[in-house]
Structure 1
Amino acid sequence: MKKLVILCSVLFLFASVTAFKVEDKAEFKFVTETHDFGKIPQGKPVTVDFKFTNIGNEPLIISNIASVCGCTVPKYTNTPILKGQTGTITVTYNAAAMSFFSKGLTITSNSKTPTKVIYIKGEVVAAPVK
């Protein structure tokens, strides 16, 4: 019986410490997670900045941002974003083909949610004739 009480106490202590560590993780807070470019002319790249704040307690480190195709190019700061500081992810979309588009960019980081997706969308229309 004494061993069972000790084992339960150790497990409870381990679970408590683990729960507190989760709260210490970095965490994204985006101003917006989706951007609609609306109608954009074919052949003219467009760019948007996704601004975010680290609302967690640890420094936020982005290790990678993956896009679904070469037409969407993300740029981001490689330095850690400290608690309360802001960062920016700049996304450029090359509007090559006329059609509607919706692209997701997958962010990999050390945050509480290690994989996060942000989106761009819009419609590529014929460029005006000069």
Structure 2
Amino acid sequence: MKINVMNMAVFSVMLALGTSCNQKSDQDDKIKALEDKIAQMETGNTAVTPVNAQATQAADPATLGAFGFPEMEYDFGTVKEGQVVEHLFKFTNNGQAPLVISNITASCGCTSPDWTKTPVKPGEEGFVKVVFNSANKSGAQAPTVSIQANTNPNVTRLRLKGTVTPKIAGAAAPVGPVKR
């Protein structure tokens, strides 16, 4: 009986030592991996390629249009609240391929764009019309439109800027409930 207990004790000690060796080996591997990462960070080589990254290549200039806007911003000055400001931004396609505007979005609901819907051939002109409705607006305003097209970069922004004065000068809007 004593021999069985002794054998069992020796077996348990050997099993514990064997397990701790495996754990130590795993720990050594993890420590080594962390040390490698630290070494990469210290050398400035921190670029890590994500697993879902796609290979990209530079766009061929022969497939791109290029905006040539004489102005990218229009200052409409000072207008009274409720006035509608309209400005036509003209552009020339300075690229090597027909320029196609796929979409234009406005920064707010007070601004609406219109644009040349057909491809603009190299050397030809197109337009982007921006309409700003100053109703319920006051103070400095700077609405923008973002143009998505086959250009580099593929998003171009145009901006209107100016000041809107309230309909009734000096009258502030009531704050809170009005007592009658």
Q: TM-score range by the shorter chain?
A: 0.7 to 0.9
* Whole-Å separation in 1 of the counterparts to 2:115 and 2:87: 12
The structural deviation recorded for 1:83 is 0.4
2:131 corresponds in structure 1 to 92
Structure 1 residue ranges, 4+ long, deviating more than 4 angstroms after superposition = none
1:1-130 equivalence runs, <5 A: 21-22=60-61, 24-96=63-135, 97-127=137-167
CA contact (8 A) 1:74 1:92 kept: yes
Structure 1: which 5+ runs fail to align?
1-17
* Whole-Å separation in 1 of the counterparts to 2:59 and 2:72: 28
CA contact (8 A) 2:61 2:96 kept: no
CA contact (8 A) 2:139 2:165 kept: yes
The structural deviation recorded for 1:20 is 8.3
The structural deviation recorded for 1:105 is 1.0
**2:61 alignment partner, SS class:** helix
Q: Which amino acid is 1:113 matched to?
A: P
Q: Which amino acid is 1:117 matched to?
A: R
Structure (1/2) with the larger helix percentage: 2
CA contact (8 A) 2:91 2:127 kept: yes
**1:64 alignment partner, SS class:** strand
**2:103 alignment partner, SS class:** strand
Q: Which amino acid is 1:43 matched to?
A: G
**1:32 alignment partner, SS class:** coil
Q: TM-score, normalised on structure 1?
A: 0.79
Cα root mean square deviation, aligned: 1.9
Q: Which amino acid is 2:139 matched to?
A: S
How many equivalent residue pairs?
112
Residue by residue over 1:40-92, the C-alpha shift from the partner in whole angstroms, topping out at 9 and shown as x without a partner, is 11111110011100000100000111111110000001100000001110000
* Whole-Å separation in 2 of the counterparts to 1:90 and 1:128: 30
Tell me which moved more, 20-29 or 114-123: 20-29
Q: TM-score, normalised on structure 2?
A: 0.58
Give the direction of change, closer, same or farther, for the CA distance of 1:113–1:20 in structure 2 (3 Å limit): closer
